[in-house]
């Protein structure tokens, strides 16, 4: 069952889709899915949609949404896409989920792909039950400067220009994005030092957009329960969605069974 919702964030409306077999649930994990840069809540080759459908089929609940300026949400991609804005959007989506009476007290997991992975990893809420990071950006300045935008567009953006046509896509990006990156130097690793919730990382070893080495460092440094899977896949897991969704739902189902065991123990 899919249900569309509008979630207010920063005085704007975010387009969200809820996947649930039933809204009368008990201890059913809710997985909030965060898309990547220049993507949306459907995802590249329907990646996010396929993940959400698989989560629903596994008996869990998925919430996928468009960040401000992406997909069907309010705002403009060029002006409104910043890490700071995306972090605020995720906080507001989590707040909305917790405000829904049917979802009260349910464990919340965060799942993010690419730049959405950075948002998930850097979220500071210690009440999150666990995180799934798919090909996550962990070194954003280096990643965008060297690969995603490239040195030329990065330099132009620093000089105050609006840049366009990066990664073979027709998007434009105002200087806001790069200025936010340079000013705040987002690094999820220090933030994660205080986190101990379970972490599941999946990265394709053929990823030329976000180097897999960042996920290896993340895995090595994380101090909580953790698991990493290295797949034969590119950045958007082309032709590997079935394998990926099986991995993700398997890990989430395992986490759900642990929650059930803990509840019975009390």
Domains and CATH numbers, the chain: 2-139+187-265 (3.40.50.1820), 140-186 (no CATH)
Per-residue 3-state assignment (H helix, E strand, C coil) for 46-78: HHHHHHHHHHHHCCCEEEEECCCCCCCCCCCHH
pLDDT for residue 54: 97
Per-residue pLDDT tens over the stretch 65-121: 999 999 999 999 999 999 999 999 999 999 999 999 989 889 999 999 999 999 999
pLDDT for residue 264: 44
User: Which regions of the chain are under pLDDT 70?
Assistant: 22-26, 259-266
Closest CA to 224 of 254, 201, 206: 201
């Amino acid at each position: 069952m899919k249900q569309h919702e509008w979630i207010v964030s920063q005085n704007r409306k975010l387009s969200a889709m809820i996947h649930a077999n039933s809204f009368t649930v008990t201890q059913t994990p809710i997985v909030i899915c965060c898309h990547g840069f220049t993507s949306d809540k459907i995802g590249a080759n329907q990646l996010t949609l396929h993940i959400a459908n698989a989560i629903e089929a596994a008996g869990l609940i998925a919430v996928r949404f468009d960040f401000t300026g992406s997909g069907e949400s309010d705002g403009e991609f060029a002006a409104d896409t910043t890490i700071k804005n995306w972090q605020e959007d995720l906080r507001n989506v989590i707040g909305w989920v917790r405000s829904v009476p049917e979802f009260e007290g349910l464990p919340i997991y965060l799942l993010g792909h690419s730049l959405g992975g950075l948002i998930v990893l850097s979220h500071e809420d210690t009440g999150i039950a666990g995180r799934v990071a798919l090909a996550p950006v962990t070194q954003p300045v280096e990643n965008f400067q060297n690969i995603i935008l490239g040195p030329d567009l990065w330099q132009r953006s620093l000089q105050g220009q609006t840049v366009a046509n990066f990664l073979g896509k027709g998007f434009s990006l105002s200087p806001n994005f790069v200025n936010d990156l340079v000013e705040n130097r987002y690094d999820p690793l220090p933030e994660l030092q205080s986190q101990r919730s379970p972490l599941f990382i999946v990265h394709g070893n053929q990823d030329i957009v976000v180097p897999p080495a960042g996920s290896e460092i993340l895995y090595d440094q994380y101090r909580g329960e953790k698991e990493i899977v290295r797949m034969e896949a590119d950045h958007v897991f082309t032709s590997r969605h079935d394998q990926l969704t099986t991995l993700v739902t398997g890990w989430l189902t395992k986490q759900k069974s642990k929650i059930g065991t803990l509840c019975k123990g009390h």
